[in-house]
Amino acid sequence: MLKLSFLDLVPVTDSGTIAQSLANAADLARHAEALGYHRYWVAEHHGMAGIASAATAVVLAHIGHATSTMRIGAGGIMLPNHAPMVIAEQFGTLEALFPGRIDLGLGRAPGSDQRVAQALRRTLASDERQFPQDVVELQAFLAGDERLGIRAVPGEGSHVPLWILGSSLFGAQLAAALGLPYAFASHFAPDALDEALDIYRRQFKPSEQLSEPYAAAAFNVFAADTREEAERLASSQQQAFVALRTGNPGKMKPPVAGYKDSLPPNARAILDHVLQCSAVGTVDDVAAGLKAFVARTGADEVIVASSMYDHGARKRSVALAMEAAKSL
């Protein structure tokens, strides 16, 4: 069966609270685990009123306590924002709390704008140009490499599996060079998907962690019992994308029937481009979309992204996505 994981941005709605968003994340993780999802990802974003996952390691601890078997991980930590030793300590702690269940995906984007990035880094010298060196340093901390001369406790000897995340060719090349699994952010940045996966597989060098390439790719799913309802539910995420791309991000708004058709051509073009790796509709629609996406990418794992305004509808969508995957 197709291996599915789930990416949760822990959305905050315009009628909800951060506390409710975090409670929803735990509930959705329990639901995904019961359905058979392989992995549950949480991503680091900062300074965004509509996303409650900034303290990613803390959110993962919350999700870890709500689940018992499913792997959980950062999809991802934006490593230029942090000292590698601190991330080793955080994820070493998570591995001690939830042994054998933690994954650490790493990205080089700030997860914010440059003002927020500056506020996060303060006087840290690290920046995205040092990302490869930071990844290697983090590996060394997690392995307990004595050549560092200092210890990450917790962290050393935990060997938390690392992933490289990306939306460009750089991440694919780095993941291949280091022999790490690779996840592509095609749910919002699909342009380089095919070339990045090709480069990753062709250039892959086996490592102690991984003997052959392992690639995941993200895919939006908005599923409901009817296509009309799925299209309505998808409009909350569509509104969020348009708001973000036009410089006006905020909390998630309620769905609007016919939203996309009401937009001017330039805004519709934004959505058509950003959401080209998506399936909106019934189980059959989602199954067809997943089948075509896997045929295109050869992905070893599909990361389902599905942000919706109504928590119950989102849980239903997550269940229908798994039903679609099982039908393939």
| pLDDT digits 0-9 by tens, 27-50 | 999 999 999 999 999 999 988 999
Residues 6+ apart with CB under 8 A from 268: 260
Q: What is residue 160's predicted lDDT score, i.e. its pLDDT? A: 97
Q: Residue 214 pLDDT > 90, yes or no?
A: yes
Tokens of 8: 């949760």
Residue 60 · residue 29 · CB < 8 Å: no
Q: Residue 113 pLDDT > 80, yes or no?
A: no
Exposed e or buried b per residue across 76-102, where buried means at least 16 C-beta atoms within 10 angstroms of its C-beta: bbbbbbbbbbebbbbbbbbbeebeebb
How wide is the angle at C-alpha 112 spanned by C-alphas 165 and 309, nearest 5°?
A: 85
**Once rounded to an integer, what is the mean pLDDT over residues 301-324?**
98
Cα–Cα dist 97/73, whole Å: 13
Cα–Cα dist 143/38, whole Å: 25
Residue 142 · residue 155 · CB < 8 Å: yes
CB atoms within 10 A of CB 168: 16
Cα–Cα dist 121/138, whole Å: 17
Supply the CATH number for residue 308's domain.
3.20.20.30
Residue type, 224: A
Cα–Cα dist 328/296, whole Å: 15
**To the nearest whole number, what is the mean pLDDT of the chain?**
94
Q: What is residue 267's predicted lDDT score, i.e. its pLDDT? A: 85
State CA 112 to chain mean position distance. Answer: 15
* pTM value surpassing 0.85: yes
Q: How many structural domains is the chain composed of?
A: 1
Q: What is residue 123's predicted lDDT score, i.e. its pLDDT? A: 53
Helix (H, G, I), strand (E, B) or coil at 258: coil
Torsion angle in degrees (nearest 10) through CA of 308, 311, 315, 318: 20
Backbone conformation region of residue 268, classed left if phi is above 0, alpha if psi is from -120 to 50, else beta: alpha
Residues 6+ apart with CB under 8 A from 17: none
CA atoms within 13 A on the CB side of 242: 19
For 182, the domain range is 4-327
